Amino acid sequence: MSDFFDKTTDALAASLRMRQMRHSVTSSNIANAETPNYKAKKLDFENALASAFDSNGAATMDATHAEHFKGAGGLGDVKSLVPDVYDNPDAALNNDGNTVDLEKEMAALSENSILYKAALQLINKKMAAVKYAIGER
């Protein structure tokens, strides 16, 4: 997003991008549920997103002089976040060498869809508030 938006909007936009990627990975796992020797993939981005925003405040800088630049307040480069995609280590090996658990993948797809919709609704609410503030009802 642009500098017009705040950290929350940037985080929600990054979350939407990552949830789209997770949807692709999970859909690929489901599509290959019957493929022999297919290894289920997993995508993690929550830790990367949390560290980019430095949820514990360790990377926050204080301006101690009037001519100092203001710190980013822990805001990392959210726009260039790259999630980790790897073979799922928690998956059980089937007789054909496939590690896809169809029920778990379907549940993960549903959960991801719900979280995607929630983030999208939050962005829509923020945009509605901006629209209201500038007087375009």
pLDDT digits (tens, 9 = 90+) for 80-128: 677 778 888 888 888 899 999 999 999 999 999 999 999 999 999 998 9
Question: Which has the closest alpha carbon to 17: 53, 49, 64, 56?
Answer: 49
For residue 71, give its domain range: 7-133
Q: Which residue has the tokens 């800088």?
A: 61
Residue 1 lies in a domain: no
- How many CA atoms within 13 Å lie on the side-chain side of 118? 9
Residue 102 lies in a domain: yes
Q: What is the pTM of this model?
A: 0.72
What is the tally of structural domains in the chain? 1
The one-character DSSP state at 86 is E
Q: Name the E strands within 4-132.
A: 41-44, 84-87
Segment 54-60 shows an average pLDDT of 51
Residue 69 lies in a domain: yes
Residue 2 lies in a domain: no
Cβ pair 28, 41 in contact under 8 A: yes
